[in-house]
Structure 1
């Protein structure tokens, strides 16, 4: 099914026009070679604002292969970070949601050879003055520019703090639990279409395990609050974890995390 991006979707993708063709799950295709796929979850934070640009540069250089990045706390109580991301994640990137009207705090940076073919921002809950901004889930579905059947979805989000960490305030758990519920729904919506899902998040819960609770969902990290997980699809696309590392952000109390995958058509 062919489609055209509306003005709104062009805005979601940062103003870049992207064209693509959606394919149904399980589309028959010849196996491809393996492609290196680094994925980073990076909370910029607000404790040391002068360190932000160096941190963004270090995330861009987090792997020799251009990484896919799920960001958190972009323009959250401060300004200037979109320009920094534009500077270090340049023409070889699509920075989806970076200047979105509402979901701009959790953008996703997608490098070539990956092409965004669909995107969605899902509202979770409103802001609480002095406690939290509104929370959103962002997602992009991408394909390889040379192997159009090689597709996956990347989801990114940021859970409310101090519900299950920090102050552990039970009055904030309705908001945290709601995001967990909608996060699960979004992962499973793509899984049911046969699509591989990779997600990044600042979960603000050191005991976090899986968005879905399903055995099929795989964890890259099992400690800390910054997580990268994946849920296999129908087997058309194969993903393997090769290595992990962290990046010293120097802005907040937790570093960016890197998962080095490889991916191919099965």
Structure 2
């Protein structure tokens, strides 16, 4: 585990301006076709769907002040309000049960993200450290785990990426993939560490899996991909130069997205952060909009 001072310095790199928004319902516009007396005229182009609010959070719980964990998880659930009503954020979690495996963090997620959510991969043997909380405003049509690399005793656990294919219940034409991950700590930091070469190699292997097995895999099927994670490197090289977009220019806690070709559009309105009080990480928030064009 990295020292608290280094984790704080990396995690807080690149400030964010606080904003508020919520998940807003909207009806998609419908195309029309008019019939004449002597036949059917060509259908008009379908109107673009309404923009829907989408709040995305990346939240690393950490391993320092363990008595603050429930507060941190509750504060993520309460991260954004609009007109006094809580938004339902889409959350990628990191370090759940990592180094403090008393089972409490999974319970806190269940308590504060309850029946209004599907808490994917919580308690999963392979992927429990990086679960996803998806509000029921989205249908989960598929989910999977992608292996990044194995662990090393006394250095790091194994690393994976968790993924969920989501469609907006109010407009099922709005489809995208949400992915979440946590890279190995301590790579490329220049410290005298017997495991430094292993850390660097595993970080690069994880980056390749993220790019090729997740982003490229789903992009080839037309999906836009929103991803969250603690990448343990700042600045993080773009996984897909010229296409990938980031909510934050710096910092190890990242929210990014790769546009797709299935007609689902994404745009960023503003960003925010949520103090976590557990260690050097604050949760980061991207307040976005999504629609089917």
Quickly name the TM-score band, shorter chain normalised. Answer: 0.7 to 0.9
> Per the alignment, in what secondary structure is the counterpart of residue 69 of structure 2?
helix
**219, 234, 239: which one aligns with 1:191:** 219
Large movers: runs of 4+ above 4 Å: none
Partner of 1:3: none
- Is 1:31 equivalent to 2:59 in the alignment? no
**Aligned counterpart, 1:58:** 75
Do the aligned residues in 2 keep the contact of 1:246 with 1:256 (CA within 8 Å)?
yes
TM-score (norm 2): 0.78
Residue matched to 2:89: 67
The question of 1:218 aligning with 2:235 is answered no
How far apart are the structure 2 equivalents of 1:166 and 1:58? 35
RMSD: 1.5
CA distance in 2, matches of 1:166, 1:262: 40
The question of whether the paired residues in 2 share the 8 Å contact of 1:29 and 1:265 is answered with no
* Shift in CA distance, 149/242, structure 1 to aligned 2, threshold 3 Å: same
Residue by residue over 1:18-47, the C-alpha shift from the partner in whole angstroms, topping out at 9 and shown as x without a partner, is xxxxxxxxxx97632111100000000001
Native 8 Å contact 1:152 1:196 kept in 2: yes
Indicate the structure whose relative CO is greater, using CA pairs within 8 Å and at least 6 residues apart.
2
Residues 1-266 of structure 1 mapped to structure 2, 5 A cutoff: 31-64=48-81, 65-78=87-100, 79=102, 80-165=104-189, 167=191, 169-185=196-212, 186-212=214-240, 214-234=241-261, 236-266=263-293
Partner of 1:187, secondary structure, is helix
Q: Distance in 1 between matches of 2:173 and 2:46?
A: 7
Give the match's secondary structure for 1:150: strand
Conserved? CA contact 1:210–1:229, under 8 Å: no
State which drifts further: 123-132 or 151-160. Answer: 123-132
Structure 1's unaligned 5+ residue stretches are: 1-27
Bigger CA drift: 42-51 or 170-179?
170-179
SS at match of 1:180: helix
Which of the pair has more CA radius of gyration? 2
Q: Distance in 2 between matches of 1:261 and 1:253?
A: 25
- Aligned-residue offset at 1:209: 3.2
Relative to structure 1, is the Cα distance of residues 158 and 229 closer, same or farther in structure 2, using a 3 angstrom cutoff? same
C-alpha displacement at 1:241, in angstroms? 0.2
Q: What is the Cα deviation at residue 254 of structure 1?
A: 1.8
Q: What is the Cα deviation at residue 172 of structure 1? A: 1.2
TM-score, structure 1 as length reference = 0.86
Residues 114/50 of structure 1: CA separation in 2 closer, same or farther (3 Å cut) = same
Shift of the alpha carbon at 1:164? Answer: 2.5
CA separation in 1, counterparts of 2:118 and 2:150? 27
What runs of 5+ residues in structure 2 fail to find an aligned partner?
1-44, 82-86
Conservation of the 8 A alpha-carbon contact between 2:275 and 2:282? yes
**Are the equivalent residues in 2 in contact too, given 1:209–1:222 (CA < 8 A)?**
no
Number of equivalences: 238
What residue number does 1:25 align with?
none
